[in-house]
Chain A
Amino acid sequence: MKYLTLAAGLIGASAAWAETPELTVYTYDSFVTDWGPGPAIEKGFEAQCGCDLKFVGMGDGAALLARLKLEGARSDADIVLGLDASLVAAAKETELFAPSDLQADYDLPITWEDDVFVPYDWGYFAFVHGTDLTAPTDFKTLAESDLKIVIQDPRSSTPGLGLLMWVKAAYGDEATDIWAGLSDNIVTVTKGWSEAYGLFLEDEADMVLSYTTSPAYHLIAEEDDSKTAALFDEGHYMQIEVAGKLAGSDQPELADQFLQYLVSDAAQSVLPTTNWMYPAVTPEGGLPEGFEGMIQPGKALLVPNAQVPALREEALNEWLTALSR
């Protein structure tokens, strides 16, 4: 025990002696991979802040919030990056976040008004599949088909939660029947987006829940046009990804500076071709070539932030019940 205390003390002390201040950002796994936005953003921000920016991957978006609740005020994190609009109300309830007065000229499909969270990119959820497949055009046809899909767990992953809201927003009280119909199509439910997309790429399923912009990755980064997203008649649910500053941060100024950087042209021009989402503020050069070919949903669905928690609980119970049969 003594040895542990000593070790902890030494680690703590060495951090305090360090010359450059450190900004710790908790985020989801795919953000910090070599091919994700993490490295470019770290380089860009460190060039101007005189600090050490540390990204820590913590599973997927919703698991991030659970992790924060677990760590509570003890957390080392200064910033959490990777929650989405569906989680904003739940995140505020924890009272772990500090308000931000940041203003930016957002190009979001909706007006963003929130005193805590800063949106940095957005997209539409969609099922991605190979172009050799004749894709269903709505959830009912998908449920009737033999197609195998991989989805994410709504309790740990923001796309999973998005799908829950999507079905609920499109079908309301019928949502249970849709899930019951889908249950034999679901190969597995993964904890995060990375696992699900990986399974799809390894041919473990015909379709995967991802984004309308995911095919752009294959097109631009791999020059592979064999992937596309299915356009659903019910409309597509929107995801707005956000970052927030923690009240317990020991670097509040740096944290503000980082949020400002996140909506700057430098960061926003990196996101489309690393996070494969639409930027929250369209950069000067516009969208990269290839994005114009992505499917355009006829109808955008979004449940207002404040209504999500109550609806989530109801929808989650329906989902658990339908899928555990």
Chain B
Amino acid sequence: MAHRAVALSDRTGVFAAALVAVAILAALVAVFMAADVAAGLGAADWAAVRFTVTQAIWSAGLSVLLAVPVARALARRRFWGRGALITLLGAPFILPVIVAVLGLLTVFGRSGVLNQFGAALGLPPVSIYGLHGVVLAHVFFNLPLATRLLLQGWQSLPSERFRLAGQLQLTPRALFLALEWPMLRQVLPGVAALIFVICLTSFAVALTLGGGPRATTIELAIFQAFRFDFDLGRAALLSVVQLALAGTAAVAALWLIPPISLGGGLDRPLRRWDARGGAQRALDGAVILLATLFLVLPLGAVVLRGLTGIGQLPPSVWQATLNSVVVAGLSVLVLAVLALPMAGWIATRRRGGVEAIGLMGLAASPLMIGTGWFILINPVLDPARLSLPVTALVNAMMALPFVLRILVPRMRETLQDYGPLTETLGMRGWALWRLLILPRLRPQLGFAAGLTGALSVGDLGVIALFADQERATLPLQMYRLMGAYRMEAAAGAALLLLVLALAVFFICDKWGRWHADA
């Protein structure tokens, strides 16, 4: 095979990658220049570092541990609604964090459903604020992700082995040791590493559920240095710490992290001959029921509470909604312009090492990039004026690693299949994109755009640094309503936000599948 099977120009891809690298590096340089190294890290900063790592370990550990029985039960059982449940497991990906937090507060808060139930049994109330609240929210988000990834692991086991195990009449325990455990040993570290890295850069959860100096993540400490003291030197120093921590973890985890698939094939359960006993059935049923309740109850609470609150929405919420739609549209646009040429470039290489540039977006935290750009913009222009474009840009970068993983395999396949033909036809440049690549990649593009748009609509990060009173996005406005303890209105905004995020995702995804060739 020739080194290059297709006349796809490298230039745009290299240019796009360079743009991403420059955008991140410029922020980095600004942060390093401004960092107040002389001040050093105080006891509270070290506490923030410790808390960041502790909560990430707990979150990753618990998510993975709990995901094992859930994925196992889902792999073993076939039941009505199984497909819908697995689709639901993908929902937290596009669920705005702050919406979930409100739902969790309603269920697990001191006056929430669970504590009322506990009080009826004479149990002391449990508070959701602090380490356990943060971990709870992270498990809520990552348990479904872990379950899906583990389910892929189960799905990868050849069905013949289960048939054999059935013939040998292996007990569930023996089957676990012989088949499932070796698979888990391969998959678990990667899943845990991915969740660990995601939780290291958590901001919105810590902002809402973290309580005081004892439950502050580094991202939150950056925000506090900004908003409470307006101490840019300190914010920059903390950003450097964040980068060192998350960067090291991301690079270390890079070779452990499993590929992110569209979830194709997960709806097709393997035929199983084992675990037919009543106790096993009951156990699996209970596990599936508990996991479903854990996911559905908070969301149900948001919808119920939101319906009563939707009438009380102040006009500022509608303005914020419009802003959010604009931000999401912008970030999808930016992403398409950056990711497509990059994917084209990566797909023509033999190895996907170039994806590392996309991963920079994961290691460099949103608040770090935000801090850097704030320092760059501040002397020239009022940063609040650029709050929406900057948010859109940072959102696009955050989505880049995921999107590249979605686009590259299909791009590679397309270029391999049609490369010789396009070469013969002398097709190149724009025509190649318009006639071959874009139509073939349409489903992946739609999915990627939906993901980016939904992530962007629900994001509460950089906007919190930049925004002033007049330029807020919907998540920020909702957070402000929660802060003013207008819980009903906040719940209304949450419902609106939930609907918006899901709508953005479904519209883009539907567009991708509509008349798709695939």
What are 17 residue pairs bridging A and B, where the CB atoms are less than 8 Å apart in the complex? Answer: A63-B227, A67-B230, A74-B382, A148-B127, A155-B224, A155-B228, A194-B483, A194-B485, A198-B484, A199-B485, A202-B109, A202-B110, A204-B111, A320-B42, A320-B213, A321-B43, A321-B44
CB atoms of B127 and A4 under 8 A apart: no
For chain B residues 206-233, which have a beta carbon within 8 Å of chain A? 211-214, 216, 224, 226-230
Q: Does B129 contact A (CB under 8 A)?
A: yes
Q: A8-B385, A66-B229 are in contact. Are A195 and B214 (CB under 8 A)?
A: no
**What are the interface flags for A1-28 relative to B under an 8 Å C-beta threshold, 1 for contact and 0 otherwise?**
0001000100000000000000000000
Taken together as a complex, chains A and B put the C-alpha atoms of A199 and B44 apart, in Å, by: 25
Q: Least Cβ distance of A14 to chain B in Å?
A: 14
Q: Does A188 contact B (CB under 8 A)?
A: yes
Residues of A within 8 A of B130 (CB): 188
CB atoms of B483 and A320 under 8 A apart: no
Residues of B within 8 A of A56 (CB): 469
Q: Does B240 contact A (CB under 8 A)?
A: no
CB atoms of A63 and B213 under 8 A apart: no
Q: Does B34 contact A (CB under 8 A)?
A: no
**What are the interface flags for B380-397 relative to A under an 8 Å C-beta threshold, 1 for contact and 0 otherwise?**
001001100100000000
Closest to B386 in A: A4
Taken together as a complex, chains A and B put the C-alpha atoms of A186 and B84 apart, in Å, by: 42
Q: A148-B127, A156-B227 are in contact. Are A202 and B111 (CB under 8 A)?
A: yes
**Size of interface on A: residues with Cβ below 8 Å to B:** 46
Taken together as a complex, chains A and B put the C-alpha atoms of A62 and B386 apart, in Å, by: 25
Residues of B within 8 A of A324 (CB): 43-44, 47-48, 213-214, 216
Taken together as a complex, chains A and B put the C-alpha atoms of A197 and B47 apart, in Å, by: 27
Taken together as a complex, chains A and B put the C-alpha atoms of A247 and B127 apart, in Å, by: 46
Which listed residue (B127, B213, B227, B228) contacts A323, Cβ 8 A? B213
CB atoms of B213 and A58 under 8 A apart: no
CB atoms of A58 and B212 under 8 A apart: no
Which listed residue (B44, B469, B485) contacts A320, Cβ 8 A? B44
Q: Does A203 contact B (CB under 8 A)?
A: yes
Q: Does A191 contact B (CB under 8 A)?
A: yes
Residues of B within 8 A of A194 (CB): 483-485
Taken together as a complex, chains A and B put the C-alpha atoms of A69 and B230 apart, in Å, by: 7
Q: Least Cβ distance of A178 to chain B in Å?
A: 15
Residues of B within 8 A of A70 (CB): 226, 230
For chain B residues 471-502, which have a beta carbon within 8 Å of chain A? 483-485, 487
Q: A153-B212, A203-B110 are in contact. Are A63 and B485 (CB under 8 A)?
A: no
**What are the interface flags for A39-64 relative to B under an 8 Å C-beta threshold, 1 for contact and 0 otherwise?**
00000000000000000111100110
Which listed residue (B229, B230, B469) contacts A57, Cβ 8 A? B469
Which of the listed residues A30, A59, A324 has the most CB atoms from chain B within 10 Å of its own CB? A324
Which listed residue (B47, B129, B229) contacts A325, Cβ 8 A? B47
Taken together as a complex, chains A and B put the C-alpha atoms of A194 and B229 apart, in Å, by: 20
Binding site for B on A (CB under 8 A): 4, 8, 29-30, 33, 56-59, 62-63, 66-67, 69-71, 74, 148, 151, 153, 155-156, 183, 186-189, 191-192, 194-195, 197-199, 201-205, 317, 319-321, 323-325
Residues of A within 8 A of B229 (CB): 66, 155
Which listed residue (A4, A189, A192) contacts B483, Cβ 8 A? A192
Q: Least Cβ distance of A61 to chain B in Å?
A: 11
CB atoms of B483 and A323 under 8 A apart: no
CB atoms of B385 and A325 under 8 A apart: no
Taken together as a complex, chains A and B put the C-alpha atoms of A48 and B228 apart, in Å, by: 36
Q: Return the 10 tightest CB-CB contacts between A and B, nearest first.
A: A198-B485, A189-B212, A188-B211, A324-B47, A155-B228, A320-B44, A188-B129, A324-B213, A69-B230, A323-B213
Closest to A186 in B: B212
Closest to A62 in B: B228
Which listed residue (B212, B385, B487) contacts A4, Cβ 8 A? B385
Q: Least Cβ distance of A23 to chain B in Å?
A: 16
CB atoms of A189 and B469 under 8 A apart: no
Taken together as a complex, chains A and B put the C-alpha atoms of A148 and B200 apart, in Å, by: 29
Taken together as a complex, chains A and B put the C-alpha atoms of A148 and B126 apart, in Å, by: 11
Taken together as a complex, chains A and B put the C-alpha atoms of A8 and B386 apart, in Å, by: 10
Closest to A75 in B: B382
Closest to B485 in A: A198
Q: Least Cβ distance of A204 to chain B in Å?
A: 4
Closest to A201 in B: B485
Taken together as a complex, chains A and B put the C-alpha atoms of A80 and B485 apart, in Å, by: 23
Residues of A within 8 A of B44 (CB): 320-321, 324
Which of the listed residues A70, A183, A191 has the most CB atoms from chain B within 10 Å of its own CB? A70
Q: Least Cβ distance of A107 to chain B in Å?
A: 31
Residues of A within 8 A of B43 (CB): 317, 320-321, 324
CB atoms of A156 and B127 under 8 A apart: no
Q: A66-B227, A70-B230 are in contact. Are A189 and B110 (CB under 8 A)?
A: no
Taken together as a complex, chains A and B put the C-alpha atoms of A191 and B111 apart, in Å, by: 21
Residues of B within 8 A of A189 (CB): 211-213
Residues of B within 8 A of A192 (CB): 483
For chain B residues 103-122, which have a beta carbon within 8 Å of chain A? 109-111
CB atoms of A66 and B230 under 8 A apart: yes
Taken together as a complex, chains A and B put the C-alpha atoms of A183 and B389 apart, in Å, by: 41
Given contacts A69-B230, A191-B483, could you give 6 more A-B pairs where the C-beta distance is less than 8 Å?
A: A66-B228, A186-B211, A188-B212, A201-B485, A317-B43, A324-B44
CB atoms of B469 and A153 under 8 A apart: no
For chain B residues 174-229, which have a beta carbon within 8 Å of chain A? 211-214, 216, 224, 226-229
Q: Least Cβ distance of B486 to chain A in Å?
A: 9
Which listed residue (A58, A69, A197) contacts B469, Cβ 8 A? A58
Q: Least Cβ distance of A202 to chain B in Å?
A: 5
Which listed residue (B110, B226, B385, B485) contacts A197, Cβ 8 A? B485
Taken together as a complex, chains A and B put the C-alpha atoms of A199 and B483 apart, in Å, by: 10
Residues of B within 8 A of A203 (CB): 110-111
Q: Least Cβ distance of B133 to chain A in Å?
A: 9
Q: Least Cβ distance of B322 to chain A in Å?
A: 14
Residues of B within 8 A of A148 (CB): 127
Which of the listed residues A148, A202, A320 has the most CB atoms from chain B within 10 Å of its own CB? A320
Which listed residue (B42, B109, B216) contacts A317, Cβ 8 A? B42
Taken together as a complex, chains A and B put the C-alpha atoms of A167 and B48 apart, in Å, by: 24
Taken together as a complex, chains A and B put the C-alpha atoms of A204 and B482 apart, in Å, by: 14
Residues of A within 8 A of B484 (CB): 29-30, 33, 194, 198
Residues of A within 8 A of B213 (CB): 189, 319-320, 323-324
Residues of B within 8 A of A186 (CB): 211-212
Q: Least Cβ distance of B317 to chain A in Å?
A: 15
CB atoms of A204 and B110 under 8 A apart: yes
Closest to B228 in A: A155
Residues of B within 8 A of A197 (CB): 485
Residues of A within 8 A of B385 (CB): 4, 8
Closest to A66 in B: B230
